[in-house]
Structure 1
Amino acid sequence: MRRVEHIMGLPISLRIDGEDVEGDGDGGTSMAADQAFAWLREVDARFSPFLPDSEVSRLDRGELELHELSPDLVEVLDLCEQYRVASGGAFQVRMPGRGLDPCAMVKGWAVQRAGDLLRAEGVTTFCLNAGGDVVSAGRPWRVGVRHPEQADQLCTVLEIADGAVATSARYERGDHILDGRTGRPATGLLSMTVVASSLTEADATATAAFAMGVEGIDWAAAREGCEVFAVDAERRVLRTPGFPVAA
């Protein structure tokens, strides 16, 4: 089963293979997919800083007190604070002169939760891809990482099963990742790819490391359970020994 929807400003695709599709007439699988995509649409409506009625926008305008926040938003903001501290301030969701924007945390967290929903509904073999950030389960899946300067080429292909991979780079949205320590666009890296057990960890770590610049490579590599593939501004490729390059 294959399905694609445009949510959170990007295409999100789901592929489900094997016995999860065979034998049930696709009904149970379709219901699980419906739940996963409904969750992602709900997250977009509640947490987008670009929607004036979202929970995030209302908090940013001072219309909500902390004790009035949903448990989900409290969890997201707690995670943001953890990565802010761990990165020495490079990872920030509230920059000076800008509104609250937790998107750097929300996407990975939400897509990981969607994967967890699929598992809870008995789906065991799937690949959920949110604009190149992937949650996979059930069998090895091959994931290509786009070359940071040549859109029609890959710089590596990896293979993951029951895990996640995320890439932060400039090539889709330009200098959109800011170093929270300076407030300026992050420099030093062209792309940062992180493999971890969850997309929450992989995506936030990739974003924080990219914001940190070259020092972010060692920082990300030192995080428990993370493997790293990075291209720096000098076009050097750096890879941890355990990074799962496809054969």
Structure 2
Amino acid sequence: MRAAHRQTRVWVEEIMGTPMSVHLISAGARDEATTERAVRACFDELHQVDRVFSTYRPDSDINRIRRGEMALADADPRVGVAAAACERAEQATGGLFSGHWQGWFDPTGWVKGWAVEEASRRHLAPLLSSALAVGINAGGDLQLFTAPGADWRWHVGIADPHERGRMIATLDIADGAVATSGTAERGLHILDPRTGEPATGVASATIVADGLAQADVWATAAVVAGRTDHSWIGPSATRTGIVVDDDGAVTRWLGSTVIDVCEVSGSQAA
């Protein structure tokens, strides 16, 4: 199918304090009403998750638990799902990720990736019956789908954390998720759960995995691990990724194998 025949539609809504956009690529007629309902259902589910888990809403279940006004067992059932998932993630990462990173239960680092992945698989992926591809961008984190047999690929650029507007790499993805974490945009906002101190040494970590929940957890873990510890790459079972240190050094891997560690500051990497 020639690119000229392809149509792109985009829907944008602010959820969880960040712009989220759904992108649909089609090459022919489709049921517009069905599409609109699916996108609306995806956004609505994410709003529901935000009402339960938001750390900014005083009436959220998470804040009521933190204040001792609600027991975890009495909260929305999704809170129990989050608690169990965070425990598994903490074990898998060797403590690099934790749902108690602030000293109390706050699954923020897991919820967004999981919620976006679940909502998009439930509501957006079925649109592939009449579309080439569909994906959601949640503040730079992506969950992407392409119809079986379609020649479409999502072209994902990896930003240079040291030079705004510059890409250090591009990735072609049919199905999967991409998550980025780091200190370049928001400063030292990620704490090492093992020490309670800000994580330093990594400017950005971009992880490619099957699902956004997994990618998000390991992007955070990569930042906490720091510039010299790459022992987490094998256990992460991620597809590939790029970690850029504060000094410009770049580590890339494929599967469990580190491809290279090199300096790219001031040069273009593919």
TM-score between the two structures when normalised by the length of structure 1: 0.90
* 1:220 aligned to which of 212, 215, 233: 233
What's the CA shift for 1:76? 1.1
**Cα distance in 1 for residues equivalent to 2:246 and 2:231:** 15
* 2:86 aligned with 1:80: yes
The equivalent residue for 2:191 is 178
- Aligned-residue CA RMSD (Å): 2.1
**Cα distance in 2 for residues equivalent to 1:197 and 1:107:** 16
The equivalent residue for 1:128 is 136
For residue 184 of structure 1, give the secondary structure of its aligned residue in structure 2: coil
**Cα distance in 1 for residues equivalent to 2:17 and 2:36:** 23
For residue 200 of structure 2, give the secondary structure of its aligned residue in structure 1: coil
The equivalent residue for 1:15 is 23
Aligned partners of 1:127 and 1:141 also within 8 Å: no
The equivalent residue for 2:3 is none
Task: Label 1:34 to 1:117 Cα distance change in 2 as closer, same or farther (>3 A).
Answer: same
Aligned partners of 2:52 and 2:76 also within 8 Å: no
Aligned partners of 2:207 and 2:238 also within 8 Å: no
The equivalent residue for 2:76 is 70
The equivalent residue for 1:158 is 171
Q: Which amino acid aligns with 1:144?
A: G
The equivalent residue for 2:110 is 105
Q: Which runs of 4+ in 1 moved over 6 A?
A: none
* 2:6 aligned with 1:6: no
Aligned partners of 1:220 and 1:228 also within 8 Å: no
Aligned partners of 2:124 and 2:134 also within 8 Å: no
* 2:28 aligned with 1:49: no
* 2:92 aligned with 1:92: no
* 2:205 aligned with 1:192: yes
The equivalent residue for 2:249 is 236
Aligned partners of 2:222 and 2:243 also within 8 Å: no
- Greater Rg over alpha carbons, structure: 2
Aligned partners of 2:239 and 2:254 also within 8 Å: no
Aligned partners of 2:192 and 2:199 also within 8 Å: yes
Q: Which amino acid aligns with 1:127?
A: G
For residue 173 of structure 1, give the secondary structure of its aligned residue in structure 2: coil
What's the CA shift for 1:86? 2.4
What's the CA shift for 1:191? 0.9
Once the two structures are overlaid, the 10-residue window that deviates more, 162-171 or 215-224, is 215-224
**Cα distance in 1 for residues equivalent to 2:229 and 2:47:** 32
TM-score between the two structures when normalised by the length of structure 2: 0.82
Aligned partners of 1:112 and 1:198 also within 8 Å: yes
Aligned partners of 1:209 and 1:215 also within 8 Å: no
For residue 190 of structure 1, give the secondary structure of its aligned residue in structure 2: strand
Identity within the alignment, %: 38
| Count of equivalent residues | 242
* 2:38 aligned to which of 27, 32, 41: 32
Once the two structures are overlaid, the 10-residue window that deviates more, 106-115 or 213-222, is 213-222
The equivalent residue for 2:262 is none
